[in-house]
């Protein structure tokens, strides 16, 4: 493998704590001259924010090596809704910023009927009012998009926060409409990661802890899939399974002797 794509939440870090062995694996790959990309489904942060967190935790990275669904959100809205769309955004400030930077406009919550599209991310201020506005807009014909369907966001202490997918499912159930997924497991972010590394899928691997987002998405585009599963078990989809980043490092060292 000439390049590696790493999921962030649950692989490189949990919350604000580095995964044990993660820094060693990444330093080894850097030392071997392999290309790296960090690909997260995070719906609340853009590449610069994630790159800053990597640096803060001691991991070398540049902004161009980091991808989130927000990097391509404007382009997806252009394709599926149209240029200069009116968007009801349920999520954090960076999701709203991605909509505006993509030359689209934001619709206030109380004017949800004007929305041509509804984008639902992980919203820490989610409320019944927002659920009502989003589901009514979607039921009324607005396009329904989401960065991801991940139900949980891993944090420190083997705990979790409700993920973007938990909120999306509430809107989908009320509206009776399934969303278009912008991030993993859909191909565009994987394909952009490969393009930035200058590699084909046959030359790269994806390391992730979610079978549905990381592993199935990697297999769809032809990447070698490495499943990080601290609690073990067989998923039947990945090419390799490791229980820790330290075990991944040993595997890499074995294949490069």
Domains recognised in the chain with CATH numbers? 3-69+184-255 (3.40.50.1000), 74-181 (3.40.50.1000)
- Please state the rounded mean pLDDT for residues 214-229: 96
- Please state the rounded mean pLDDT for residues 218-225: 97
Is the Cβ–Cβ distance between 206 and 36 less than 8 Å? no
Cα–Cα distance for residue pair 9/82, rounded to 1 Å: 32
Query: Comparing 234 with 119, which gets the higher pLDDT?
Result: 119
pLDDT exceeds cutoff 90 at 233: no
Cα–Cα distance for residue pair 173/187, rounded to 1 Å: 25
pLDDT digits (tens, 9 = 90+) for 184-197: 999 999 999 999 99
> How confident is residue 212, by pLDDT bands cut at 50, 70 and 90?
very high
Cα–Cα distance for residue pair 166/159, rounded to 1 Å: 16
| 167, HSE (Cβ side, Cα atoms, 13 Å) | 30
- Please state the rounded mean pLDDT for residues 219-229: 97
pLDDT digits (tens, 9 = 90+) for 149-191: 999 988 888 889 999 999 999 999 999 999 999 999 999 999 9
> How confident is residue 257, by pLDDT bands cut at 50, 70 and 90?
low
Give residue 236's pLDDT: 80
pLDDT digits (tens, 9 = 90+) for 74-123: 999 999 999 999 999 999 999 999 999 999 999 999 999 999 999 999 99
The position carrying tokens 């995070």 is: 42
- The pTM of this model reads 0.92
**Bridge partners for 122 per DSSP:** none
Secondary structure letter of residue 70 according to DSSP? G
């Amino acid at each position: 493998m000439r390049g590696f794509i790493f999921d962030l939440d649950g692989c490189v870090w949990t919350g604000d704590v580095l995964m044990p062995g993660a820094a060693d694996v990444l330093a080894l790959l850097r030392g071997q001259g392999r290309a790296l990309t960090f690909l997260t489904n995070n719906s609340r942060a853009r590449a610069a924010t994630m790159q800053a967190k990597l640096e803060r935790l001691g991991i070398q990275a540049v902004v161009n090596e980091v991808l989130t669904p927000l990097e391509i959100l404007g382009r997806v809205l252009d394709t599926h809704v149209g240029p200069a769309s009116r968007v009801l955004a349920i999520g954090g400030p960076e999701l709203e910023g991605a909509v505006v930077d993509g030359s689209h406009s934001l619709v206030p919550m109380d004017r949800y009927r004007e929305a041509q599209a509804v984008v639902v991310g992980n919203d820490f201020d989610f409320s019944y009012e927002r659920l009502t506005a989003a589901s009514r807009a979607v039921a009324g014909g607005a396009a329904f998009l989401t960065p991801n369907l991940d139900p949980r966001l891993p944090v420190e202490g083997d705990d979790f926060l409700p993920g973007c997918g938990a909120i999306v499912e509430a809107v989908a159930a009320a509206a009776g409409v399934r969303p278009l997924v912008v991030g993993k497991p859909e191909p565009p972010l994987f394909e952009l990661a490969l393009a930035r590394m200058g590699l084909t899928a046959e030359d790269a691997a994806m390391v992730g802890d979610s079978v549905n987002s990381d592993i199935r998405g990697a297999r769809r585009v032809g990447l070698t899939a490495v499943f990080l599963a601290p609690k073990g078990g067989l998923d039947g989809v990945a090419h390799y399974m490791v229980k820790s980043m330290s075990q991944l490092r040993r595997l890499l060292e074995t294949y490069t002797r």
